[in-house]
Structure 1
Amino acid sequence: MELSDSRVINAPKNEVWTALLNPEVLKDCIPGCQEMAGSIEEGFEATVVQKIGPVKATFKGAVQLTDIVEGESCTISGEGKGGPAGFAKGGAKVRLAEVEGGTELSYDVEAKIGGKIAQLGSRIIDGVARKLADEFFTKFQSVVEGPAEESGAVEEGATEAEVKKGWLKRTFGG
Structure 2
Amino acid sequence: MEISGEERIAAPRDVVWAALNNPDILRQCIPGCQTLEQKSPTELAATVKLKIGPVSASFNGEVTLSDINAPESYRISGEGKGGIAGFAKGHADVVLEEDGADTILRYKADAQVGGKLAQLGSRLIGSTSQKLAQQFFADFNAVLTTPAETSL
So what's the TM-score if we normalise by structure 1?
0.82
Partner of 1:15 in structure 2? 15
Partner of 1:165 in structure 2? 148
Higher relative contact order, chain-length normalized (CA < 8 Å, sep 6+): 2
**1:21, 1:40 within 8 Å by CA — same for their partners in 2?**
no
Residues 4 and 42 from structure 1, CA distance in 2 versus in 1: closer, same or farther, beyond 3 angstroms?
Answer: closer
Mark the runs of 5 or more structure 2 residues left unpaired by the alignment.
none
Partner of 1:87 in structure 2? 87
Higher strand share: 2
> What are the Cα deviations for residues 49-76 of structure 1, in whole angstroms up to 9, with x where unaligned?
0001100001001111111101100112
Please identify the structure whose Cα radius of gyration is greater. Answer: 1
> What are the Cα deviations for residues 138-159 of structure 1, in whole angstroms up to 9, with x where unaligned?
111111112xxxxxxxxxxxxx
Q: Distance in 1 between matches of 2:86 and 2:129?
A: 15
So what's the TM-score if we normalise by structure 2?
0.93
Q: Distance in 2 between matches of 1:121 and 1:107?
A: 24
Partner of 1:73 in structure 2? 73
CA RMSD of aligned residues (A): 1.6
Q: Distance in 1 between matches of 2:107 and 2:39?
A: 22
Q: Distance in 2 between matches of 1:131 and 1:68?
A: 26
Q: How does 1:22-171 map to 2 (within 5 A)?
A: 22-146=22-146, 164-165=147-148
**2:42, 2:65 within 8 Å by CA — same for their partners in 1?**
no
Q: SS in structure 2 opposite 1:165?
A: coil
Q: Distance in 2 between matches of 1:96 and 1:143?
A: 17
Q: Distance in 2 between matches of 1:101 and 1:37?
A: 31
Mark the runs of 5 or more structure 1 residues left unpaired by the alignment.
147-163
**1:40, 1:65 within 8 Å by CA — same for their partners in 2?**
no
Partner of 1:153 in structure 2? none
What is the CA-CA distance between 1:77 and the residue it aligns to?
1.5
**2:91, 2:109 within 8 Å by CA — same for their partners in 1?**
yes
Q: Distance in 2 between matches of 1:70 and 1:41?
A: 13
Q: SS in structure 2 opposite 1:50?
A: strand
Q: Distance in 2 between matches of 1:112 and 1:24?
A: 26
What is the CA-CA distance between 1:46 and the residue it aligns to?
0.6
Q: Distance in 2 between matches of 1:42 and 1:142?
A: 24
Q: Give % identity.
A: 50
What is the CA-CA distance between 1:101 and the residue it aligns to?
4.6
What is the CA-CA distance between 1:78 and the residue it aligns to?
1.4
